[in-house]
């Protein structure tokens, strides 16, 4: 589906709360864009409605391109839950596009992590905060664990924090603040 500045919020951001949406930022004059389009279309079709493909002409919609920091095309961004969760720039081989879609459709890392913590019984305070949807409290509790942890334990704490950061998104203020705090505490 073609998306414009007027329809982007509804067709991509809001729709991604129900079904993941891949946005292909392209231009008619772009050769790599023309090469990537059928690869994206085929992969989306192969998924039978699990994911939607939206196309944004960067020349006709410069506001969206600027808002999502598109500096080179083709730029492909995967939206889930109203935000970008994975992306790439440039033409890709079919196998790489399939991997990209697999990543977009995979359960969020923090969901898998929550299941692991539940099964192992480790970090009960962190698990409780994650189950309550309180990422900031979970990160505070992770930071509290660091001083008394072994090197292997610190690696596990870092892994858990990175999963939370990934779930929140790269630009989320909590991610930005806690990434610095985590680095300071670990190193």
What is the CATH topology of the domain spanning 8-105?
A: Glutaredoxin (3.40.30)
pLDDT tens figures, 125-160: 999 999 998 999 999 999 999 998 888 888 889 889
pLDDT of residue 34: 93
Where are the chain's structural domains?
A: 8-105, 109-186
Which position among 21, 22, 23, 30 bears the catalytic label?
A: 30
59 catalytic, yes or no? no
Residue with tokens 């309550």: 132
Chain segment 57-106, per-residue pLDDT in tens: 999 999 999 999 999 999 999 999 888 888 999 999 999 999 999 988 98
Strand 52-57 to strand 21-26: parallel, antiparallel, or no bridges (unpaired)?
Answer: parallel
pLDDT at 187 over 80: no
Identify the active-site residue in 33, 52, 104, 185: 33
Residue 138 CB burial class (10 angstroms; 0-12, 13-18, ≥19): buried
Q: What is the mean pLDDT of the chain?
A: 91
Helix (H) or strand (E) holding 1: none
Q: Are 109 and 167 in contact (CB under 8 A)?
A: yes
Q: Is 102 helix (H, G, I), strand (E, B) or coil?
A: helix
Helix (H, G, I), strand (E, B) or coil at 92: coil
- Determine the pLDDT at residue 5: 93
118 is catalytic: no
| pTM of model > 0.85 | no
The band of 184, judged by pLDDT with boundaries at 50, 70 and 90, is: confident
Element (H, E) at 90: none
Greatest Cα pair distance in the chain: 58
Q: Which two tokens stand for residue 97?
A: 């596009």
């Amino acid at each position: 589906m073609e998306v414009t500045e007027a329809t982007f919020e509804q067709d991509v951001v809001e729709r991604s709360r129900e079904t993941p949406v891949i946005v292909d930022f392209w231009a008619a004059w772009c050769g790599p864009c023309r090469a990537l389009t059928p690869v994206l279309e085929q992969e989306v079709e192969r998924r039978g409605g699990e994911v939607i493909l939206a196309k944004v002409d960067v020349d006709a919609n410069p506001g969206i391109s600027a808002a999502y920091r598109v500096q080179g095309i083709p730029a492909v961004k995967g939206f889930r839950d109203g935000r970008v969760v994975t992306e790439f720039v440039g033409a890709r081989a079919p196998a790489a596009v399939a991997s990209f879609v697999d990543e977009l459709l995979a359960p969020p890392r923090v969901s898998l992590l929550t299941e692991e913590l539940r099964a192992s019984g480790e970090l009960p305070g962190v698990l409780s905060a994650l189950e309550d949807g309180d990422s900031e409290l979970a990160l505070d509790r992770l930071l509290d664990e660091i001083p008394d942890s072994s090197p292997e334990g610190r690696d596990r704490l870092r892994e858990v924090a990175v999963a939370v950061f990934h779930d929140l998104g790269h630009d989320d203020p909590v991610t930005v603040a806690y990434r610095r705090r985590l680095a300071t505490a670990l190193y």
